[in-house]
Structure 1
Amino acid sequence: MSALLEISNLHAYYGKSHVLHGVDLVVHQGEIVSLLGRNGVGRSTTVKAAMGQVDAKGSILFKGEQLLGLKAYQIAHKGLGYVPENRDIFPSLTVEQNLRLGQKSTRVSNQAQRWSLEDMYQMFPRLRERQHTAAGVLSGGEQQMLTLCRTLMGDPDLIMIDEPTEGLAPKIVDLVAAYLTELRNRGISVLLVEQKLAIALDISQRVYVMGHGSIVFEGSPEELRKNHAIRREWLEV
């Protein structure tokens, strides 16, 4: 299995605050990897650094190319997608206009577009019902669906998703889990930042646990289930 995203010895900073302390993380082709941990330990900073949004040192390779020093839009055009925690939609535009904005005008490669508007509407019928509605009046769950789908319309090879189930009803959480599994079935790798242990363990092939800006555990979901000491110290409230 080939490595798609390789983060090595990553250090990141907010001003003079040193947030990440030598993070190592790998996402292979066609797998879902979850990055777990309590709030404030550096999980979101890790994906923001990969997307060029945080000052960082070390190495972030995507498909063998160094990302550090590139702008976010350059990174996106290389095939790395990012869904931020704040559901960054355009509230005055309709659902369909938001989705169309996510499309790439050109592809660097000759790869055919994997996703269409119809795919989005089939996966989330609620978006079809709301396609002509201003995004700003959608519910939280609907906005989360829209944000995920808009990122997908950019046809990424790997998508980094920050807390997609935060504040969502259990039924919508199940929808998101099914959606992420469908991404993997279509050959898209996923790096999932998540606090809900159940969803992460159910859909991931591998998991990392972060504490105080460093990786404190790496292994399979089953290994984490059995490691009560790690769960107690770094995950449980």
Structure 2
Amino acid sequence: MLEVKDLHAYYGKSHILQGVTFNVKEGEIVSLLGRNGVGRSTTIKSIMGEVAPQGSILYRGRQIAGLKAHEIARCGLGYVPENRDVFPGMTVRQNLLLGIKDMKVEGRWKMDDMFDMFPNLRNRADVDAGVLSGGEQQMLTMCRTLMGDPDLIMIDEPTEGLAPKIVEQVGDLLSEIARRGVSILLVEQKLAIALKISHRLYVMGHGHMVYEGTPDELKANEQIRKEWLEV
């Protein structure tokens, strides 16, 4: 579904991604793991066109490297950034409506689906998004992206700074997204969440992939965890 080969990216003269190669298959949850600063977020931004990529990014066989972000979104990719980009002066309901790409096409996700999964959003549907808690804004950002009915959704650090109860809800939502046939590329700092919900995992170090395997294989590989993940 998504094939990334020899991907390079730069911030000024800093060579951040140094030949990243990986793939995501239909219906998979694939997690990118690694310590802060290794290039996980830059990988997603490069795929989404927010950082200029060098290399090959194939989505359903189409080369999308070099396309603009809105063109990539139209191809069927969704992106949830880690900085919770809500429209603060608009209500929760209005934020969700903004996520719909084509009002004439009925997608997999309805507003009621979002409210059923996150009752807090239903209770605050007509409240400005700017007054929501951090956890509620994270829920809203994810749900707004789903309203665009992506076939693959890339999510950057969805549980960062959230209370344990909300982390559990986010994990349940990710599993439900996959159950409905949407592939997920997840950047996640919490190893327990990634091991619980992922089909495959990649570990990044120094701008490239250093490991690929299943959750069970990573659990059994103490050397990789100590060298590239644990503090």
TM-score above 0.5, yes or no: yes
**What is the TM-score when the length of structure 2 is the normalising length?**
0.98
Partners of 2:74 and 2:52 in 1: how far apart? 20
Partner residue, 1:66: 63
The corresponding residue for 1:11 is 8
What is the identity, as a one-letter code, of the residue corresponding to 1:59? S
Find the residue that maps to 2:79 and give its secondary structure.
strand
Q: Tell me, yes or no, if the aligned pair for 1:14 and 1:55 is still in contact at 8 Å.
A: no
TM-score of the aligned structures, taking structure 1 as reference length: 0.96
Q: Please list every run of at least 4 consecutive aligned residues from structure 1 whose deviation after the TM superposition is greater than 3 angstroms.
A: none
Cα-to-partner distance string for 1:4-28 (whole Å, 9 max, x where unaligned): 1110000111111110011011000
Matches within 5 A, 1:1-150: 4-105=1-102, 112-150=106-144
Contact 1:34 1:207 (C-alpha < 8 Å) held by counterparts: yes
The question of whether the paired residues in 2 share the 8 Å contact of 1:102 and 1:153 is answered with: yes
2:126 is paired with a residue of what secondary structure?
coil
Distance 2:177 2:59 in 1: 18
Provide the rounded CA distance (Å) in 2 between the counterparts of 1:85 and 1:229.
Answer: 29
Query: How many residues are aligned here?
Result: 231
CA displacement at 1:69 relative to structure 2: 1.1
CA 1:66–1:106 in structure 2 vs 1: closer, same or farther (change >3 Å)? farther
1: CA distance between counterparts of 2:214 and 2:106?
33
SS of aligned partner of 1:149: helix
Gaps of 5+ in 2: none
Quote the residue 2:155 is aligned against: 161
Partner deviation per Cα, 1:86-127 (whole Å, 9 max, x = no partner): 0001001000000000001268xxx74111111111111110
Show structure 1 runs of 5+ residues with no match: none
- How far the C-alpha of 1:66 sits from its partner, in A, is 0.6
How far is the alpha carbon of 1:71 from its aligned partner?
A: 0.3
AA of the residue aligned to 1:5:
L
- Aligned Cα root-mean-square deviation (Å): 1.0
C-alpha displacement of 1:161: 0.2
